């Protein structure tokens, strides 16, 4: 999926004092289908806000976001819900798996709205678990898994509906170095083999340097990283 962001502005009213804090200001970004992009910046700089806006989890104050052929501001609520479920996959710092469900059940959660024959979805879940190396854990619950295994399950959940866009917000933040490297290897492998556009928000320079392009957020705008 190609992405076009123009003049994007987002602010929040602070709960204490009511002052308005500008997070993103007149921000532009162009991403080609299949690209890998790293977004860097300190905590509070707007990395998560940018991913949430592109993923339609939040709305901008001004500016336009075009996702493929869809202009977000023209999308109905039904369109937005369909986009999140079918076209976008989300991976966060914490896996957010349901503790009462097995790994397989967690992976299949995004398919619940589908009312037809789910045999193809079950097969895809099996293929994703094999690809991610967690097939032998499919009947275990999150409390019985390692942090790395849980995060792999979260990636499988994000991919179950075959999205064209993968948004990863500090996906290695809760992992050790070995598991972090393995997870990034997997995300890049997914990008190559499935042609999924990948946007990663990260504090890690080593992770960022593995992406096609790197940006930092400075004063609400994206700047090409040249360190």
Give the model confidence (pLDDT) of 11-45 as tens digits.
987 777 677 888 899 999 999 999 999 999 888 88
Q: How many structural domains compose the chain?
A: 1
Say which CATH number the domain at 126 has. 3.40.50.300
Please state, in angstroms and as integers, the Cα–Cα distance from residue 212 to each residue in 47, 66, 73, 196, following that order. 17, 21, 28, 13
- Three-state SS string over 170-194 comes to CCCCCCCHHHHHHHHHHHHHHHHHH
| Residue 135's pLDDT band (cuts 50, 70, 90) | very high
In a domain, 157, yes or no: yes
Pairing type for strands 20-31 and 3-13 reads antiparallel
114 within 8 A of 85, measured Cβ to Cβ: no
Q: Provide the token pair at 42.
A: 């300190």
In a domain, 190, yes or no: yes
Q: Is residue 137 part of a domain?
A: yes
Question: Bridge partners of 20?
Answer: 13
Full residue range of the structural domain in which residue 163 is found: 32-59+77-224
Residue corresponding to tokens 């032998």: 136
User: Could you tell me if residue 55 is inside a domain?
Assistant: yes
Q: What is the pLDDT of residue 181?
A: 87
At 80-96, the pLDDT tens digits run: 999 998 899 999 877 88
Question: Residue 227: what pLDDT?
Answer: 62
Would you state the pLDDT for residue 225? Answer: 83
Q: Is residue 92 part of a domain?
A: yes
In a domain, 68, yes or no: no
211 Cβ contact list (under 8 Å, min separation 6): 36, 37, 38, 198, 200
User: Whole-model pTM?
Assistant: 0.90
In a domain, 168, yes or no: yes
Q: 147 lies in a domain?
A: yes
């Amino acid at each position: 999926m190609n992405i076009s962001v123009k003049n994007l502005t987002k602010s929040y009213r602070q709960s204490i004092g009511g002052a308005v804090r500008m997070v993103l200001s007149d921000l532009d970004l162009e991403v080609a289908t299949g690209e890998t992009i790293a977004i860097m910046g300190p905590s509070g700089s707007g990395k998560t806000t940018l991913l949430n806006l592109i993923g339609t989890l939040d709305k901008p104050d001004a500016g336009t976001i075009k996702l493929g052929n869809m202009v977000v501001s023209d999308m109905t609520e039904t369109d937005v819900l369909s986009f999140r479920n079918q076209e976008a996959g989300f991976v966060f710092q914490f896996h957010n798996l349901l503790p009462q469900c097995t790994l397989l059940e967690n992976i299949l959660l995004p398919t619940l709205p589908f009312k037809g024959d789910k045999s193809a979805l079950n097969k895809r879940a099996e293929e994703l678990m094999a690809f991610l190396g967690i097939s032998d854990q499919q009947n275990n619950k999150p409390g019985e898994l390692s942090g790395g295994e849980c995060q792999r399950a979260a990636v499988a959940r994000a991919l179950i509906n075959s999205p064209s866009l993968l948004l990863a917000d500090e996906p290695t933040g809760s992992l050790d170095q070995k598991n972090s490297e393995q997870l990034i290897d997997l995300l890049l492998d997914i990008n190559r083999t499935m042609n999924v556009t990948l946007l990663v928000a990260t504090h890690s320079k080593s992770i960022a340097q593995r992406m096609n392009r790197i940006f930092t957020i400075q004063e609400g705008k994206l700047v090409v990283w040249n360190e």
